[in-house]
Amino acid sequence: MPAIRRRNPISDCPLTAALAAVGGKWKLIIIYWLADGRRHFAGLRQEMSSISAKVLTQQLNELLADDIVRRDETGPAPAPVYYALTDYGRSLLPLVETVRTWGRGHIERFEA
């Protein structure tokens, strides 16, 4: 069943649209971990040990609705489900790397 597309909270504002799609504590991190290929839900949880299953599910559902992530079912339940970036989602990887690099510099600035 296709995800229901989420509305941009403020029309014609590109920053609001971007932040609605990838803002928050976890979305860029999820995208980062999916950059190398598809991962099982439990694999994502393992990489992001401080995220709850409920929040990870919510974040993945929002990324699915924005066509950033796709869900690959391997068979009927309880078969494993994998998540992967869509081509559209892969277009975010330069942004993720830029934010990661900036974050590293930010950490180093305050450690000095």
**Rounded CA separation 21/68 (Å):** 8
**Structural domains in the chain plus CATH codes:** 14-111 (1.10.10.10)
Question: What is the mean pLDDT of each successive set of 10 residues along the chain, which is 112 residues long?
Answer: 59 83 93 95 91 95 95 88 97 96 92 79
What tokens appear for 50 in the block?
Answer: 């401080």
* Tokens found for residue 65: 């609705």
Q: Which helix (H) or strand (E) holds 84?
A: strand 81-85
pTM of this prediction?
A: 0.85
Order of strands across the sheet with 69-73? 39-40, 81-85, 69-73
Give the pair of three-digit tokens for residue 41: 């839900």
DSSP 80: -
